[in-house]
Structure formats: structure tokens, C-alpha cells
Amino acid sequence: MNESIISIRNLTMAYGDNVIQRDLTFDIQRGDIFVIMGGSGCGKSTLLRHMIGLQAPSAGSVLFGSEDFWAASAEEQDRLKRRFGVLFQAGALWSSLTLAENIAFPMEEFTRLPADAIRDIVATKLALVGLAGFEHYYPSEISGGMKKRAALARAMALNPDILFFDEPSAGLDPLSSRRLDELILQLRDSLGATIVLVTHELPSIFAVANNSVFLDAESKTMIATGDPKHLALHGPDGVRSFLSRGEPS
């Protein structure tokens, strides 16, 4: 009954002759919270960039359903990108715009919605992430955790069915990180979104992920895929060692 929403096939990532990862093949099912994990420098964020259309692979395919993103025309790629929402590591909010203006920007650029409809959607998205009433605040006026939630609201502006997060908990205190994990679970359950995230934070991995891929820097390929809780007990030695830094809950 599972449906693959993203399929990676024989993907090789390289900078010139320097191969980062090779022969990556795995599937992400609709409704997954899928984590890309591995040690520092293994290519986690690079893989994310290949998946969201920022960097072309040296070989292989990134499929959305049956559509090969990197074999598609520029127009078809733009259409596929409309299905994405991306939360970058630092949030990437425009400092000169209020939170409302940050979230409204994608709708103003890519839809013909009237101003009052955009205003209502902005209020709804901010409420979803626990920031109701903060429309007129600037990024400099809110905490790091609130900035991450505001950036998440912007990522959801166009109602994407796939959300990509790059180190969403980076720089957050444990309480803010846990609240963000809870929010990710709520979004998956309430919106039916598929979520792909890069993280090295074990509490977050065990709290939210039901599927994963592990990239190994030494062999320069994936060495496991599946539920991190299962891999922590039954995965290859390198994966169990990585995940044994914390206990699955």
C-alpha cells in the first residue's frame, strides 16, 4: 500500500573528480519523516541540494513519482519545485521584512491571490507554528527557535506536499529543539506532508523519523536504510555506533 513519493536511483555526487557519495538508491514513502544521517563531511546537505534542484548529480536520477527531475525541462523542473517547501539551516528569513511579509512573499511571487486572502493565509501559517500575533515582528526581534518556526511557516506558504529541512535544530537549546520536533510530527499528521530532514541530533532522529538513509564518509556510499530505531539495534556496525551515542525512545 506504500507509495514512493521520492526515489533516488544510482545517484553519484561529486565535485569534479572528488566523489562525495556514489551508487545511492533508496525510496521515500508518502507520509514519511525521512532523515538523512551520517558523520560530518559525508555529504548529507549535498544530497539534500541534489534533491531540491540546487545541484545536479554526476550520475543517477532523482524521481518524484515517475518524473525524473534532472531529465526534465526547466519548465517541468519549476513545476516540480512548486511541490517543495525548504527550511534552510539558518532560516534564511529576509531581515528587512516582517514575519508576515516573509511568508507572504512566495504567494505574491507565484500566485494571483488577492491581498486579503494572502493576509488570511499568513495568519493561518503563523498560527500553525505557534506564532499567532507575531505578524509585524522583524526577525531580529524574535528568538532563534521562533525564527526557525517562522521559516517553517514560510516553507509551507504554497501548501507543498514535500518539506525539506536542513539541520532544523542547529543552534537551538534542548527545549526549543524538542518543541520543533513536536511541531514536525504535528505537521506530518495534520497536513499529510512528507518530510525529509538532514540532522545529526540523535534525540530528533529517534523522536520523529520513521525512515532514513545512512551515508558513510569512508566508503563513500550508503550502508543502511530504514527506521533508525531498528537500525540502532540491528544495523551495520558503523550505523549502530553512530546511533549508540543516545538511546532510542
Instruction: Quick: pLDDT tens for 140-188.
Output: 999 888 888 898 889 888 888 899 998 887 777 788 788 888 888 988 8
Fold that domain 1-83+205-249 belongs to in CATH: Rossmann fold (3.40.50)
| Confidence (pLDDT) at 249 | 40
pLDDT grade, residue 248 (50/70/90)? very low
State the Cα–Cα distance between residues 223 and 210, nearest whole angstrom.
17
Q: What does the pLDDT average to over 193-218?
A: 92
Q: Who contacts 116 (Cβ-Cβ below 8 Å, separation ≥6)? A: none
Which helix (H) or strand (E) covers residue 67, if one does?
A: strand 67-68
| Confidence (pLDDT) at 7 | 97
Contact 190, 163 (CB under 8 A): no
Q: Please provide the average confidence, as pLDDT, over all residues in the chain.
A: 89
pLDDT grade, residue 91 (50/70/90)? low
In the predicted model, is pLDDT for residue 240 greater than 70?
A: yes
Task: Output the pTM of the full model.
Answer: 0.88
| Confidence (pLDDT) at 90 | 63
Contact 202, 240 (CB under 8 A): no
